[in-house]
Amino acid sequence: MHYRIFPNFIKDAVFPPCRVGIAVGLLLALIGSGVSASLPPTSTLSAEPHHDQTLKYVNYFIERYHYRKTRLDDPLSSRILDRYLDALDANRIYFLAADIESFETLRFELDDYLGSHNTDPLFAVFNRYRDRVIERIDYALGRLNQPFDFSANETYPFDRAEAPWAIDGAALDDLWRRRVKNDYLILKLEGKPHEEIVGTLRDRYQQQKRRILQISNQDVFQTILNAYMSAIEPHTGYFSPRATENFKIRMSLSLEGIGAVLQSQNEFTVVQRVVPGGPAEVEGSLRAGDRIVGVGQGDGDPVVDVIGWRLDDVVDLIRGPKGSIVRLQIRPDPKTGKSESRILALTRDQIKLEEQAAQSMLLEVSGPDQIQRIGVIDIPTFYVDFDARSRGDADYRSTTRDVRRLIRDLEREGVDGLIVDLRGNGGGALAEATALTGLFIDSGPVVQVRDARGRTSVNRDPNKGIAYAGPLAVIVDRNSASASEIFSGAIQDYRRGIIIGEPTYGKGTVQNLINLDPYSEDQEQPLGQLKLTIAQFFRINGESTQHRGVVPDFVLPGVEPDLPYGEKALDNALPFAQIDAAAFSRFTDSELDLQRLREAHDKRVLEDPDFTYLAGLKELDQVLTRSGEVSLLESQRKAERDQRETTQQRIFETLKTAHGVSDDSDEPLEDLPRDAVLLESARILTDLSIGDFDDRLVVQLVKKDAAPLPSAAKDHNAVGQ
């Protein structure tokens, strides 16, 4: 591939296994904000002039550079239609069978339309969809005024992905009657009175109506392109200009704004929390729950009323260059009892998203004879500030740089072993996975990459030397993907450390970002970016992680229900493949006594109260996931709820007893269950480092800014603005 003709390629990217959101938090998540008493008339959405340009370049790059040689033909046309309908109405609760039949005329024609850069038929499908959504919401709002019979023995089918389309409006009315009845019953079982239930549901449905009416031409176009892309391969996708900006923020872990996480509640933009160290925290008067009702720029521009606006439109107004001023009209949280609004002027600054950065903690593992100090580095994503790096900034932000610093800090604490925690890490930059591996090996290959022409290159450790040479463990789970699999696979192949957890996601493909903006005929109109699968990566042993993932040396019980997951569960995913192994020397030629390690580990897991508790919850969840419907008979639902709550309480009381915790003890109950996987990983690493296998090892936290012991939850939320 001749990358050089496209200077705007990011040439070392892998990226997480998200499908850019076939509906991009848009047609699925956008159905959920608020609506005022009077709504604007519904206008027909249609393609904008720059959309045909965008589609022209998308077709060009896919045809010439996608790893899977693809033609825009009738078979692909058929898959695109199916993907698009899934994006709009995956649960089959809006369209009628007659709608679907009318769309069938497009099944083998979409290739011709898209090939000529024409999206009009797909916009027409969306307009029909939007009309159906509004019809259903209006029906739901009207149904709230009628009584429900909760003594009738009927069910609500919440999973209709494979169900037939409703034959007519009466069938949809019956389905939605039961849907509203289920929504009502959930709140009724929580003890809410009738008036409060009706008010809550009315707000919820009106919120959905507002969101569907706020969807823009660009939103629909993005959904169309992602249906097209995912019909080829699940990790190829399109970022609109707005989505491009958000992607850059996630990768660089920084933005220029005020430092507040925002969310949409009904017609208001509400402050969810204030980011530490940002301008809003420094100024000191912005609080969680405050409502932003107006935004002005600088000292003199008028304040624009933003009540009823889409959240991302409000965010666009608040974000801005470092050093500039934004004025916010703030209405206090109604719970405070205050009603007077105020104007808050803030000077924008660079916000560091530290909660997405690598972080460390220190554990002590105590046995009968000795204490081992185990360092833990949690890496939520493989990030790098591409723009700063390309500018030549000496201090650009990256995963490898942060981890190197954390290793130095932990070694000053005197650690006997190190755990790298990659649970939930969906990937990121390929170069970072390669460089991070290099911190733990002296030199050598890390990953092999085969391009669309079948040529294989080897990505090697970019720097000689080892940042940490001691005992090492890597924790993974089913959501560890892409760059996480490159790192953990290399550590396993080199015998540099042990891998612990669940088999990983199984994403073994490489994506590059192509900036389409330079090709725009109107430089004032950005076109967005294409995320294109251009290669497949292979471990240095020659095996792909595609479909199979990385299988840990120690497989720990997972906490999620046993359902299809990962790459193997995605439509149109590339198959597993294998190539020749690369030449490399293992970190050690000695075989680990894994059998003895596993015996000690297995004994501990069987007796560990946290694992027992998690297994009990998993068994409860399995019951819920096996059924695609719920009863609407109030007595039955109440009995099922009571039985579940009783079982949950019983296994939690067992956990409390095992840890010697009572309701009046000093230890906070929210710290239970502890992070069983992390604590057992520390025990396994201790067994490995001291060469002695002891089932009586006790783990405690000795250094961290948060809870007394790691709990089972991991929160890696991104900042909203």
Give the tens place of pLDDT for each residue, 392-448.
888 888 999 999 999 999 999 999 999 999 998 988 888 999 999 999 999 999 999
Is 219 in the active site? no
355-703, CATH topology level: 2-enoyl-CoA Hydratase; Chain A, domain 1 (3.90.226)
In this structure, whether the domain defined by 254-352 belongs to CATH 3.90.920.10 is answered with no
Mean pLDDT of 365-393: 86
Residue 207: C-alpha distances to residues 26, 309, 313, 565 (Å)? 14, 12, 17, 31
Confidence tier at 8 by pLDDT (50, 70, 90): very low
Mean pLDDT of 539-566: 85
Look at residue 664 in the predicted model and tell me its pLDDT: 65
The beta strand positions in 613-691, using DSSP E, are 629-631
Residue 321: C-alpha distances to residues 291, 312, 350, 351 (Å)? 23, 17, 8, 11
Measure the CA–CA gap between 468 and 497, rounded to whole angstroms.
12
| Strands 529-538 and 509-515, bridge-based pairing | antiparallel
Number of H helices, E strands in the chain: 19, 23
| Residue of 33, 254, 482, 488 marked active site | 482
643 Cβ neighbours under 8 A, 6+ residues apart: none
Tokens found for residue 169: 């409006």
- With a cut of 50, say whether residue 23 has pLDDT above it: no
Domain ranges of the chain: 13-237, 254-352, 355-703
| Residue of 493, 553, 608, 610 marked active site | 493
Tally of residues, the chain: 721
Least confident stretch, 23-27, 93-97, 367-371: 23-27
- With a cut of 70, say whether residue 195 has pLDDT above it: yes
Look at residue 10 in the predicted model and tell me its pLDDT: 43
Three-state SS sequence of 545-564: CCCCCCCCCEECCCCCCCCC
| Residue of 181, 209, 507, 656 marked active site | 507
What does the CA dihedral 475, 480, 482, 483 come to, rounded to 10 degrees?
A: -40
Residue 653: C-alpha distances to residues 35, 639, 658, 675, 688 (Å)? 44, 21, 9, 17, 33
Query: 3-state class of 348 per DSSP?
Result: coil
Measure the CA–CA gap between 198 and 473, rounded to whole angstroms.
53
Measure the CA–CA gap between 687 and 683, rounded to whole angstroms.
6
Is 482 in the active site? yes
Per the CB < 8 A criterion, the answer to whether 306 and 269 are in contact is: yes
Mean pLDDT of 330-352: 79
Question: Please, what is the Cα angle at 284 between 283 and 290, to 5 degrees?
Answer: 110
| Strands 417-421 and 445-451, bridge-based pairing | unpaired
Look at residue 715 in the predicted model and tell me its pLDDT: 38
**Arithmetic mean of pLDDT over the chain:** 84
Look at residue 31 in the predicted model and tell me its pLDDT: 28
Measure the CA–CA gap between 720 and 315, rounded to whole angstroms.
8
Mean pLDDT of 459-480: 94
Type of residue found at 686: T
- In sign, the C-alpha dihedral spanning 565, 567, 571, 575 is negative
Type of residue found at 253: L
Mean pLDDT of 224-234: 96
Measure the CA–CA gap between 673 and 71, rounded to whole angstroms.
52
| % of the chain at pLDDT higher than 90 | 50
Measure the CA–CA gap between 78 and 478, rounded to whole angstroms.
31
Least confident stretch, 420-434, 498-512, 553-567: 553-567
Measure the CA–CA gap between 565 and 479, rounded to whole angstroms.
9
The residue among 362, 297, 358 whose CA lies nearest residue 324 is 297
Mean pLDDT of 443-458: 94
- In sign, the C-alpha dihedral spanning 57, 529, 77, 134 is negative
Specify the residue for token string 């709608």.
99
Per the CB < 8 A criterion, the answer to whether 570 and 546 are in contact is: no
- In sign, the C-alpha dihedral spanning 118, 121, 123, 126 is negative
Look at residue 250 in the predicted model and tell me its pLDDT: 63
